Chain A
Amino acid sequence: MGTQARTPSRQARQAREARAARQARAEALRRTRRRHRNLGVAGGVVIVALLAAIAFVLVDAAGGDDAPAPPAAQSTAAPAGATATGAIVTGTGPVTVTIYLDYLCPYCGRFERANSGDLERLVAAGTVRLELHPLAFLDRASQGTRYSTRTANAVATVADRSPAKVLAFSAALFEQQPAEGGPGLTDQRIAAIATGAGVPADVAASFTERRFERWVATSTDWAFQHGGVTGTPTVLVNGKVFEGDLYTAGPLAAAVAATA
């Protein structure tokens, strides 16, 4: 009797427990689903925010390039003494050495550090007439600060107003060359390098007038479209491309000596 009386209640309890367990499982599942849905929505918001950020950065970057250049940059004036092909000339020697370079180009830096001493000596000795083509095609590798254009303009400005200091300034720029892909150096830093190389302070202060930027752009286009230049550094001795080792001191000076 006692067991019979307990049985229905035990069954009922088991049924209740089973139902409760089922409900608990269902509740847990609902909670998980809700959590997943919320996470999915949050993820969607993050995705939209990221897309917006990417679009914003790209539009911002594109807009930066469209900013109008200041009026001074519209001047197409060439620095005094420049050739029609866009070269800055130093020296009057019988051997013409032509160098196409970009102040951001790491290999131009290596070339310059290996050879600038020899070249300065040969120019001073009256052996070499040095034609320097400062190009600006690596602007895109200085995070939008147009380091190549700014330095080429600075060198052109020195050629225009303080030509005796061009080689010293050019060598100093390469000695403190910033890394490709970084922001380059500030205008103030470039001016400081110039004065450190003996350029008068008023000339260095006038770099920011950007007087020769148009000339630099035109010269760069000319070099690649008509000058047969495909990269930098490109070095010519009396109009013939120098094929020797550009990155150790000696071979270029020897080639000049052989030509003279």
Chain B
Amino acid sequence: MTALERARRLRHSNGWIYGTMLVSAVLSLIASFVLSVDAVRLAADPAADLTCNINAVLSCGTVGRSWQAQLFGFPNAFFGLIAEPVVITVAVASLGGVRFPRWFMLAAQVVYTLGVGFAYWLFYQSSYVIGALCPWCLLVTVSTTLVFATLTHVNLRDGHLPLPRRAGPALRAAIDADLDAVAVTIWLLVLALLVVVKYGSALVA
């Protein structure tokens, strides 16, 4: 078995997939926690930090104070605190050999797809409407993407998704050819390109 084959086999193994999911979900949880603490601090004392701090990395904290930061009347980061521990539990249990029923994985896929949509709406709002880059929000965007990618990978591999008759095998064959890895890499690079095009001068200055 060549090194390439071993690498391919590893990439499609439960250990690698759920391991990636676990790491990404932990990163997402950390970022959500930091953002939640900030939001609570801001709510407790609206006058806190109403300045443009010399040490603030990329913004004057305007993202945290926007209406988009509390779309449902509470800080968006609370969603991360609720959802990511579930993802972590699923990843850890799966690493330990638990296999969840189809309906469970399907529900996870539906809910997490909504979450990814929300994360990208927020990315768009903070970058192009509010016009401030928030590093912790960006970490949430990236790690949410990775959790989504791994969850979709596993659900396609295990045939958990209700797809048209021909689509399932076709997608599985594409995954076998590692086209999913190519797609996710392109996805993340497009995100990186959007960020550097918008903020390149701020990032290197």
Contacts and interface: CB of A to CB of B under 8 A. Distances in A.
Given A40-B182, A105-B60, A245-B47, A54 B193 contact: yes
Interface stretch (B8-16, B109-117, B195-203): B195-203
Contact of A61 (B47, B55, B132, B201): B201
Interface string A22-42: 000000000011001101100
A54 B179 contact: no
Contacts of B133: 181
A106 B66 CA distance: 13
A40 B174 CA distance: 10
Nearest 3 interchain pairs by C-beta: A181-B131, A61-B200, A144-B201
B196 A43 contact: no
Interface stretch (B68-76, B99-107, B150-158, B184-192): B184-192
A108 B132 CA distance: 17
Contacts of A32: 173
B131 to A, nearest CB: 3
Interface string A57-95: 110111011000000000000000000000000000000
Contacts of B59: 141, 180-181
Contacts of A229: 54
Interface in A206-232: 224, 229-232
Interface stretch (A132-140, A158-166, A196-204): A132-140
Given A180-B131, A230-B53, A231-B54, A47 B185 contact: yes
A242 interface: no
Contacts of B179: 36, 39-40, 43
B196 A224 contact: no
A36 B173 contact: yes
Contact of B131 (A44, A50, A107, A182): A182
Given A143-B201, A180-B60, A180-B132, 8 more contacts: A37-B177, A57-B193, A57-B196, A58-B196, A102-B52, A181-B131, A181-B132, A233-B51
Nearest to B131: A181
A141 B58 contact: yes
Nearest to B198: A143
A58 B204 contact: yes
Interface of A: 32-33, 36-37, 39-40, 43-44, 46-47, 50-51, 53-54, 57-58, 60-62, 64-65, 102, 104-108, 110, 137-141, 143-144, 179-182, 224, 229-234, 245-247
Contacts of A43: 179, 182-183, 185-186
Contacts of B51: 105, 107, 230-234
Contacts, number: 121
Contacts of B196: 54, 57-58, 61
A105 B54 CA distance: 11
A47 B182 contact: yes
27 contacts: A32-B173, A39-B179, A39-B182, A43-B182, A43-B186, A44-B182, A54-B196, A58-B196, A58-B203, A61-B201, A61-B203, A65-B204, A107-B51, A107-B60, A137-B54, A138-B52, A139-B205, A140-B202, A141-B60, A141-B132, A180-B62, A182-B131, A229-B54, A231-B56, A232-B51, A232-B52, A233-B51
A62 B192 CA distance: 16
B178 A61 contact: no
A75 B198 CA distance: 32
A148 to B, nearest CB: 10
Contact of A62 (B62, B132, B197, B204): B204
A36 B54 contact: no
Most B CB contacts (10 A, CB to CB) among A141, A144, A231 go to A141
B45 to A, nearest CB: 13
B50 interface: yes
B34 interface: no
B161 to A, nearest CB: 20
